[in-house]
Structures are given as structure tokens and as C-alpha cells.
Amino acid sequence: MLLRNPGIICRVNSNCWRVFDISKKLSSLSDGSSIELDGKDVSLVGQGHQENSRIIDRRKGIDGVYDILQSGPWGPALENNLSLVDGIPQPELVIGVLRRLKDVNLAIKFFRWVEKKTNQAHCPEAYNSLLMVMGRSKKFDCLEETLGEMSLAGFGPSNYVCIELVASCVKSKKLREAFDIIQTMRKFKFRPAFSAYTTLIGALSAVHECDPMLTLFHQMQELGYEVTVHLFTTLIRVFAREGRVDAALSLLDEMKNNAFHVDIVLYNVCIDCFGKVGKVDMAWKFFHEMKAHGITPDDVTYTSMIGVLCRANRLEEAVEMFEQMDYSMQVPCVYAYNTMIMGYGSAGKFDEAYKLLERQKGKGCIPSVIAYNSILTCLGKRGKVSEALRIFEEMKKDAMPNITTYNILIDMLCKAGNLEDALKVRDAMKEGGLFPNVMTVNIMIDRLCKAQKLDEACSIFEGMDHKICCPDAVTFCSLIDGLGKQGRVDDAYRLYEKMLDSDQIPNAIVYTSLIRNFFMSGRKEDGHKIYKEMVQSGCSPDLMLLNTYMDCVFKAGETEKGRALFEEIKAKGFIPDVRSYSILNHGLIKAGLARETYQLFHAMKEQGCVLDTRAYNTVIDGFCKSGKVNKAYQLLEEMKSKGHQPTVVTYGSVIDGLAKIDRLDEAYMLFEEAKSKGIELNVVIYSSLIDGFGKVGRIDEAYLILEELMQKGLKPNVYTWNCLLDALVKAEEINEALVCFQSMKDLECAPNHVTYSIMINGLCMIRKFNKAFVFWQEMQKKDLKPNNITYTTMISGLAKAGNIVDAFGLFERFKKSGGMPDSACYNAMIEGLSNTNRAMDAFTLFEETRLKGFNIYTKTCVVLLDALHKAECLEQAAIVGAVLRETAKSQHAARSW
């Protein structure tokens, strides 16, 4: 008796026959027959010994070439070894080798080597085999070149290869690469397989990528593929859920125009999706339309509509629809009851929810665990922990709690900070025969991290029994982020390495957390390193990661790197969103490049970005800092007209901008408007007004604003006091400034180097040099570093007061510290030294002044000349006299002109 499929009868020896299963794809032979067996040294029934030998030789040839390719890196030695293989490589051998290779670079080198060796083009199957290597390795750098060659040769990739290429990318969640594969095929006029399109559209729908889905859908129509109602439904569902109502309705109209029959499934999808994005009236329209077309709403329709109304807080309409449905049904619809119970719970009407539970029991239908879980979820959201625990006990009479039930309780207890009770619930869960799943662990770790209880979170992580529950990407992500936010970035990085070791693939969220937290810890180089590691690992950054990275880079002061990242966002195929532009704007403003804000604002508008409050605030701040206050004012009005309420940041920017250009009355009107709207104004805004009024000498108004600030319970900061002190000094109200300075210290606001500089300058102005020096010494004791103006003011003041020893010591110290004394400082020192009979020291400084190119005042020359004559330094006196005459001539010439 002969056996047929699924095997082939083979002869092991003259007395023995065996059936071998065909387990691999059959390879075409020259005579049309095909076989590939795992066994060796077998004879085919109906084939001669010669054919059998050919198969064995071919198999040995493939093994030999494969072994050579695996023996080392590609190079002359490896090529020589390949050349030693007998005969010219045949297509069957090339295909067999390519099917075994995993390294795409090695496959391409072998592919090209065969071309040179044979001086012939490859057959279609060889090209398809090479494409499959690319699919297995997920590396498509040479895909376009390979497809181009196939196009020139007059053939394309097979449907099987096309499907496998797309499917391999979809399985590894590389959807952008899958999309690019199809687009590259279309570039060469190939016809990608129908299943390749539908597979990718399905995967894109899961991640809500609307636009690529629509592109693929239109391509299918262009290629003549028959699109189904199911495909239309998939697209409509995604567009509706993303709130892109017009696009969803357009697809629905297109479907109707193509004479497709709209079934109850599509109507249910439309009701559910449009309702979830808040388009309740649209959901009602579909509900009535389906009835008008003779389609009877089913349980799903009613339940979806009840859920839509509950989410829209239209509870009365939801109750009315529920009652209609419940009245018309012999057996209660469990799903409708669950939805209505959730609706009552979400609205905080727990008594009605409990009554509905009893009503369900009265109809002979025991409430399910889902109904109880719905109530527990709502109680948890409202912080009613005690009541939730009571309902949990009652629940046990009707339904067995499941893992979700315990997770809900653990979640609410952790949120309430009751860690001990949460652990007790976890233990009770084990006693009930249920074991914590990864979601249970994730909830506890996430809540503990947010409560900054890192040690407890780490303890739970370390205590996980990996035989029962292994940590997933969410577990690692929560703990990595929690550790990083608490500054424990090294621990976070070690956990990231542990994640890699456990074969978990870090996603963009993990990398975003690591990058942000390293930068926040002041370790920007490590942050850059993480980004490079992410790129090298093949993880594609998302827009959120790139925005976060750009924000970190700008805050670290790397302006050009920040600009480059903004361009990288576009280069990677993302469209910069309003946050991208806001980060760029803010970064440029901080770097003193506020003038570029105007161009970026128009770029945002042209791109169609809808500005949010943060974006308006950033652009307004940029306009103010670049002197475009009128534009900032216009934008403030536009912001209000668009329904965005200006914040304290908005008002602060415009008030400061107006105050800086002396438009103080407008600034004050805006200040009063902000107060009338109930906005809590901060010290920064008060300080802006104090500074503005002070600079124009309106001291009384500055004082009134300071008083109001303090009456509001706010505490003036050092900047506030400095603004007032500077105004008083410029108005030569030095005694009042001294009183304010003391008040500042009494209110425990520590003066900074700017404060002391203002006071020293003011005292020197009224020639109270010794008092100024007291402030200087006090400043030194507090380790406050004077700036150039403070140094020169103090040096000049001491020199004019005749305290030349301290002045000269300060002068030398200033120069040694890298300071640059100005003309006034040099002239004051020369005069001071001359007046204290140190004529030669004064002359030495005189020469230094001339050498540096500073002006020598006429009075300085006269004082020095007199001192040199008294010291009988006649040669030096002659030089000074010559300089004095030249100065006089130049001044006379200037007056004549």
C-alpha cells in the first residue's frame, strides 16, 4: 500500500521505505519537480540515483557556501574561499544561501559577488530572496536600489514578499518603515499586495494614525482594488475618534455615493465614535437615520447611545432611552444596565446606581462583577474610600471579585496614601485564589512613585515573583521615571540596563524620562548619551521626546543645538506642533534672540497651529523683549477674542514691556484690568511697575505700588528693592535710599551685589566717600563680588577723598582680577596720587593711561604738572606740559569747527 500526502515515500536501503514529511517551502528544480527534505542520503521514489545525487550535492553546496560566509568578515580572504567552490554559482544555490542568511549587509555583498562572478543578472526569485533578508533584519537602506534594479529588469516583488516585508515591520511596530516600503514600491510603479495594504491600515488604526491610513486607502482605490464596507468602517472609526469629524463624514458620504450598503455595524461605530468626541447631536442623527432606513437598533446601538448621553452629562435623556429599552425587553440587557450604572456613578448619583442594582436583581438577573467594578471606579474617583470598601463587601454576595476589582481598590488606597491597607487588599487577593498581575504591580509602583515613596516602590519591584508576574515596559517606565524625578538618575539608569537585560524593549517614554531627568540633574552630557543610545538601538523618537529633548537643550544654554533639534523634528517627518514652536521661541528669547519671535509666530500661523495659552504667552513675551510692544498688545487682545484667558504671565510680560518704554499709564491700566479679573498678581509684576515709575522720577507712585504689594501679603524681593533704591539714588534722595536699605534688611531680604553697587554709587555722587567705603567693606565680608562699575566708582571715590592708600590697593586688586578700569578711574587715581605728593607714581599711571588709549582730562594734566614741578621732576613735567598743549590745541580746533 502506497502512502500519499502529506509525505513522500523514500527508500532508506533496499529493504526499507520511510515516509518523510514535507516541512519546508518547496524549491523549484530544473525539471519542474520540487522537494526540500530534512533527512540526508535518501532516494526519491520514481527518481533515479542521478537526480538524488543532484539534490544532495546542491544541499551540500548551499551548506558549504553558507559556512564560508559565516566564517569571518567579508574581505579578500573570504572571496577567495568562495571562488574555490566548484563551478559557477547557480540560481538555486544563490536562492538557497540567501534564504538562510540573516545579515542583510552580508547578503548584499554575496549577491553582488555572484553578479561579478557569473557576469549575469539575477533571476526574480533571487531578488525576492534578498528582499526577504531585508525583511528579516528590518533593515531597508538598500531597498530602493534593489527595487530600482528589479524595475529595470522588468519584474517586481512577489505578493508573498510584499506582504512579508510589511508584516515584519508591523510585528516589530515599525509602522513608518512599513508605510515607506509601500511608497517605495509605488515609486517604481509596482502594485503592492492587497493584504499588505489592509494589514498596514489595520495596524495604523490601532495607533490612530489617520493621514497615512487615508493615503493608503486612496492608493488602493487608484490601483483598482475593491475596498470593502469593513475598510470604510475602520477609517471612519479612527477619524471620528480623533475628532476629525469632517474627514469622517466625507468618507461616509463617499461610501454612500459608491452605493455601499451602510449596515448596523457602521451605524453603531458612528454613534459610539462621534459621541465619544462630544458630537452628541451627530450621534442622535445617526440613531434616527438608521431607524429611517429600516434598520432596527440592537442592544449595542442602545447601549452606545446611553453611554454617549451619560458622558455628555445628559443624564435625563440617557435614563429615558434606558427605560424605553428596558421596558421593551423580556430579559434585561446586562450591558445597558452596566452602562447606566456607570453613568449614575460618574454623575455622583450613587443612590440611583444602587437602586438600579436592586432592580436588576428583582428581574432575576444577578449584577455582574463589571457593574460593581463600575461603581467602585466612580467611588474611587470621588475619594469615597470607606464607601467603596463597604460596597466591596456587599459585592461578594452577588459576584466574585476579579483581578480588576482588587486593582481598583488598590489604586484608590494608594492614591489616598493608605499603603498598609493596599497591601492588605493585595494579600486578601492571594487568599481568594487570585495572584497580583502586572497591572496590580504597575498601579502600586506608579502611585508610590507619585507619592515620592521610592523605597517602597523599589521594594515591591524587587519582591515580584517572576514565575507568576514579570515586569513589563510600564513597570520599568514608572520606576525609572520616579527615580529620575527624585534625582536618583544613576539608579534609574541601572534599572534601564536591567530592562535591556530582561529583553524588554525601552520605548520613547522611557528614553524621554531618562533624557529629561539627566538634564534636570545638571548632567547634560549623559542626557545626550541617552539620546544617542536610543538612536543606535533603533527606537524611533516621537514628537514628545524630541520636544522634551529640545526643551532640555535650550535650558542647558545650548542654543544652536536647540535650533538643530527643531530642524531634526522636520527632517524626521514630524510636523512641529504648538509646543515645538513654544519651546523654540522661549529658548531663543532666553538666549537674547527675541527678534526672531516675529518670524516664528508667522510660521506657526501658516502651518495652521492653534495657539494655546502657553504659546500666546511665549510669543507675547518675545514681542515685548524685542521692543514690539504694540504687536504684543494686539496679540493679547486676539488671545482674549479667541477665548483664551490671559494669565498672570501674559499680563506680566505686557506690563513689563510697556513700563520699559515709559508707557506707564497704559501699563497701570492693564495692571488694574488684571486685578479686576481676579488674577493673583505676583511680585514680578509689581516690581516692573516700581521700576518703570522709578526710572522716570515718579517716586511717590512707586512707593504706593510697593505699599499695595505688601498689603497683599506679598514680600518684596531683592529686585523690587533694587528698583526703588536705584530710583531714589538717581533722584539724589540718598538719605531716603539709606532708610529703604535698612527697611530691606529689617524685612529679611538680603542685599546682593547690585544693591551695594547702587548704594556705593549714590554715596559717591554726594561725596560721602568714607560712608561708601563702609558699604564696600560690608559687601566684601558677605563675599559678594563687585562688578566693574562698583570697582571704578569706589576707586574714584576713595581717590577724590584723599584715601589714596585704599584707592591704590583697590585699583591694583581690580586689575589683577582681570578688571578693566575706565578713563574716569585712571584720571581720579592720577589726581589722587598727585594731591598726596606721589608725583612719580602719578606719572607712571599717566603713561599707562596714554598707552591704553584713554583720554587724559585737562584738569588731571594741570594737577599732575603742578605736583611734578614741586617734586622737581622737570623732564616728566615737560612731557605732561606737551600733552596739555596738544589737548588745548585739539579742544580749540574742535570749538572753531
pLDDT > 70: percent of the chain: 92
How many whole angstroms separate alpha carbon 229 and alpha carbon 280? 24
Give pLDDT, residue 466: 67
- The yes-or-no verdict on residue 750 having pLDDT over 50 is yes
Provide mean pLDDT across the span 723-751: 90
- Sign of the Cα torsion 137, 143, 146, 151 reads positive
Confidence of residue 1 (pLDDT cuts 50, 70, 90): very low
Report how far apart the first and last C-alpha atoms of the chain are (Å, whole number).
129
pLDDT band at 293 (very low <50, low <70, confident <90, very high): confident
Yes or no: say if 89 and 109 are a contact pair by the CB < 8 Å rule: no
Question: What integer pLDDT is reported at residue 46 of this predicted model?
Answer: 45
pLDDT of 62 above 80: yes
Least confident of 53-57, 109-113, 121-125, 843-847: 53-57
Backbone angles phi, psi at 18, to 5 degrees: -140, 145
pLDDT at 405 over 60: yes
Residue 831: which region, alpha, beta or left (left: phi > 0; alpha: psi -120 to 50)? alpha
Q: Which three cell numbers stand for residue 894?
A: 574742535
The neighbour count for residue 300, using CB atoms within 10 Å, is 18
- Site of grid cell 423580556: 330
Q: How far apart are CA 862 and CA 873, in angstroms?
A: 14
Q: What are the cell numbers at 626? A: 524685542
pLDDT > 60? residue 834: yes
For residue 43, the cross-strand partners are 11
Q: Which residues are CB-contacts of 282 (< 8 A; sequence separation ≥ 6)?
A: 245, 270, 274, 275
DSSP 481-509: HHHHHTT-HHHHHHHHHHHHHTT----HH
3-state secondary structure 749-771: CCCCHHHHHHHHHHHHHCCCHHH
Selection from 185, 225, 220 nearest residue 201 by Cα: 220
Q: What is the pLDDT of residue 883?
A: 86
**Any long-range contacts for 838-844 (C-beta under 8 Å, 24+ apart)?**
838/804, 839/864, 839/867, 839/868, 839/870, 839/871, 839/873, 839/876, 840/871, 840/873, 840/876, 841/808, 842/867, 843/868, 843/873, 843/876, 843/880
Percentage of the chain exceeding pLDDT 90: 34
The per-residue pLDDT for range 440-474, each reduced to its tens digit, is 888 888 888 888 888 888 888 888 776 677 888 88
Residue 785: CB atoms within 10 Å: 9
Closest CA to 121 of 96, 141, 94: 94
Q: Which three cell numbers stand for residue 725?
A: 533704591
* pLDDT confidence bin for 59, thresholds 50/70/90: low
